[in-house]
């Protein structure tokens, strides 16, 4: 899995740049970070402890249903809680930070958690950001989940995409 700590900071996260440099994550290079799970926020956001710091991590390459997308948002969070228990060690393959200052990373426990979420129909491949990942693997996983009608694919064509739900909420 190719990591590429690409920083898309926008207005937030400038203090994180120096910290990422300290752990060896600067333009053109990256090192996976070892961390421990502190909590699960929703189906695509976790908190971890890494090198004595508490960090919020947005799982890269995927978009899980919003909690308001009942029952699918809660199901994605429950799935992630079951697959990633508190105190579990994880490896963070950091891609960037988002506009909220969260690390955007592929989270690897015993498996790639984002890919597992998509494979089991608990999240969508986030096409807008797949270039930072092995996009084909995420798209193939999504295809298999839709074919088997897992999770979000129980509805014909799948449920409304989380990015569409957020866009409608903003307008």
pTM here is 0.83
Please list the active-site residues.
58, 66, 102
- The pLDDT, as a whole number, for residue 159 is 96
- The pLDDT, as a whole number, for residue 117 is 98
Q: How far is the C-alpha of 109 from the C-alpha of 14, rounded, in Å?
A: 28
Q: How far is the C-alpha of 71 from the C-alpha of 3, rounded, in Å?
A: 33
Q: What is the mean pLDDT of each run of 10 residues along the chain (171 residues)?
A: 40 42 45 96 97 97 97 97 96 96 96 98 96 95 98 95 93 85
- The pLDDT, as a whole number, for residue 30 is 66
Q: How far is the C-alpha of 61 from the C-alpha of 157, rounded, in Å?
A: 20
- The pLDDT, as a whole number, for residue 31 is 82
Comparing CA positions, the residue from 68, 65, 73, 71 lying closest to residue 163 is 65
- Residues 6 or more apart from 106 whose CB is under 8 A from it? 1, 3, 59, 60, 61, 92, 93, 95, 112, 114, 115, 133
Q: What is the dihedral of CA 96, 97, 103, 108, to 10 degrees?
A: -20
Tokens 């994180």 belong to: 16
């Amino acid at each position: 899995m190719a990591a590429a700590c690409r920083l898309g900071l926008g207005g937030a996260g400038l203090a994180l740049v120096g910290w990422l440099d300290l752990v060896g994550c600067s333009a053109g290079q990256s090192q996976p970070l070892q961390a421990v799970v502190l909590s699960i926020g929703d189906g695509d956001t976790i908190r971890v402890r890494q090198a004595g710091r508490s960090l919020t991590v947005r799982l890269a390459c995927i978009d899980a249903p919003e909690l308001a997308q009942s029952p699918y948002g809660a199901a994605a969070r429950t799935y992630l809680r079951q697959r990633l228990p508190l105190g579990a060690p994880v490896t963070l393959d950091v891609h960037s930070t988002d506009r909220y200052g969260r690390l955007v990373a592929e989270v690897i426990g015993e498996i790639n958690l984002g890919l597992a979420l998509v494979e089991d129909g608990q999240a969508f491949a986030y096409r807008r950001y797949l270039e930072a990942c092995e996009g084909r693997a995420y798209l193939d996983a999504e295809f298999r989940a839709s074919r088997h009608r897992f999770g979000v694919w129980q509805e014909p064509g799948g449920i409304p995409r989380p990015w569409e739900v957020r866009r409608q909420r903003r307008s």
